[in-house]
A and B are shown apart, each in its own frame.
Chain A
């Protein structure tokens, strides 16, 4: 449900935003025509879409509750930044026969290292999750996120609390947009596949799912690993976009930001979550002048939404579209 819709929405959103902001009579499709500020917002939007869609695998589709998404993002950011910072020069030298392709190759390597290290971290968190449910799991993932932060804070090779600076700015709108679309596509098809029905079964009734022969353990760990992989990619993109990362940037509040996106969009709806990530990135920019009210507004959104519309503002939007009969 809704992958094509999410796809569509992100394309439209890109066009609309570029139209509105640049003031050109025609939508500007080429990156060169966008000004820097808009470009930055679009890249942030893409990163947030990746984060929200990946957290949705765990929190939405599988019905677990992770509060440690920023931790996975941190693993991805630090792992990839280590590659480009520490091994970047020598790797570029090795890749020099590729000419112009050398730098993209290095970036892909860094992205993959970021994603895979985060996935390993996700695997590690997934294992205790086998025995825990609901609120306990939420606290454990929160704990893992904090542990990752404390470890980075105390590791001198990673810059400790000072952070890593001078990360090369490899992230472009093309990379971000491409990976965002890739994330939406992979997550959407995974959840809609026969295999993916298992995630929904675990969410809807774990005991019943187990009784029907579904290996709930495997599904939960898979959800965590997939979610963490994409969070790692988002972290890697973020590191090569901002150029300067500190452990503080990946604290609990960053996780809450992503949770708000998922809840606002509707847990389990890829389309809804994509729209929410885009909308909240814009809201964040609009509230930049009144920074002290930003989190108060976020908190009120959470409280009111839970009382009035726990399924999310736009969670059932995909269902409004005509669907093929008998198919999914």
Chain B
């Protein structure tokens, strides 16, 4: 029973990261109806921004509490990624606004490869060590339960970020415009919503969340490389589809479910008779099953295609 809880906590922290990335996929899909394939690489760039920022501000902030440095690094990385996301949207996706979705998807694959290989050129292919932002120590919980402080921080900060996102989307004018755009772009534009600004904002917001995910992922695994975003990116997409693409709470739910399921499959591999090497296949099997049986996702409503 104790082991189960331990696995659940591991799964929850991994799931929180998937959820953060999945939110970006879902928001972009909501306003533009396309899969931003390069989102996983924004996650990677977020982690690298965190690393470079840390090395840059460490000497400037000697004697400051670790907590403040960690927060500065996190928000700095989120800001850099937000700018990157907006620039990428303006350069690569905006010229294709009226084109078929497949054209945009191919462009997104191109952007993704470009970021990965430029990253490899700049950062090298070997993994870089990521600094410890939060001092790792084991917190003893009830009944001998042990929680790593890094994992706990990841889960708590993710929760705060999700609340912040909910506030932006539900309570601000920009959030209202985002919701209007995802409901009906033409009508929203007619009602005076500046679609171009809202799309940029959405890309920025999604990229910032992915960067937060990148910094968390790097803090948990302590090694980052230019290709670290490929698999988490794809899995987060699966999470977004699992929850119902375009639905914010669905992305969060899907991310956490996927993280927990993946951890459980690996943790109980001998019991389930699935070798742990199949870890990366779990997400794709889930994706195929969900698309076969409930293509709209767990929280989505089925829509009939009209001519």
Kindly identify which residue among A132, A151, A153, A306 contacts B103, using a CB–CB cutoff of 8 Å. Answer: A306
* A residues in contact with B106, CB < 8 Å: 259, 263, 302, 306
- Residues in A191-240 with C-beta less than 8 Å from chain B: 207
* B residues in contact with A131, CB < 8 Å: 291-292, 295
Q: Are A154 and B278 in contact (CB under 8 A)?
A: yes
A299 with B113, Cβ < 8 A, contacts A151-B281, A310-B99 known: yes
The range of chain A's interface size is 35 or more
Stretch from B61-69, B256-264, B282-290 at the A interface: B282-290
Once the chains are docked, how many angstroms separate the CA of A303 from the CA of B103?
Answer: 9
Q: Are B275 and A154 in contact (CB under 8 A)?
A: yes
0/1 string, A255-279, CB within 8 A of B gives 1: 0100100010000000000000000
Name the residue in B34, B102, B116, B117 with the highest tally of chain A Cβ atoms < 10 Å from its Cβ.
B102
Q: How far is the CB of B143 from chain A (nearest CB, A)?
A: 36
A146 with B280, Cβ < 8 A, contacts A131-B292, A256-B113, A300-B110 known: yes
* A residues in contact with B241, CB < 8 Å: 136, 139
Q: Are A306 and B110 in contact (CB under 8 A)?
A: yes
* B residues in contact with A153, CB < 8 Å: 277
0/1 string, B91-110, CB within 8 A of A gives 1: 01001100101111111011
* A residues in contact with B238, CB < 8 Å: 139, 143
Kindly identify which residue among A143, A298, A303 contacts B107, using a CB–CB cutoff of 8 Å. Answer: A303
* B residues in contact with A86, CB < 8 Å: none
Closest B residue to A142 by beta carbon equals: B234
Q: Are A303 and B281 in contact (CB under 8 A)?
A: no
* A residues in contact with B118, CB < 8 Å: 296
Q: Are B287 and A140 in contact (CB under 8 A)?
A: yes
Q: Are B287 and A299 in contact (CB under 8 A)?
A: no
* A residues in contact with B95, CB < 8 Å: 307
21 contacts between A and B (CB under 8 A): A65-B102, A67-B109, A135-B102, A136-B295, A138-B102, A139-B35, A143-B287, A144-B284, A144-B288, A146-B281, A147-B284, A147-B285, A150-B277, A150-B281, A154-B277, A293-B121, A295-B117, A296-B117, A296-B118, A299-B110, A299-B113
Could you tell me which B residues sit within 8 Å of A by CB distance?
34-35, 92, 95-96, 99, 101-107, 109-114, 116-118, 120-121, 230, 234, 237-238, 241, 275, 277-278, 280-281, 283-285, 287-288, 291-292, 295, 305, 307
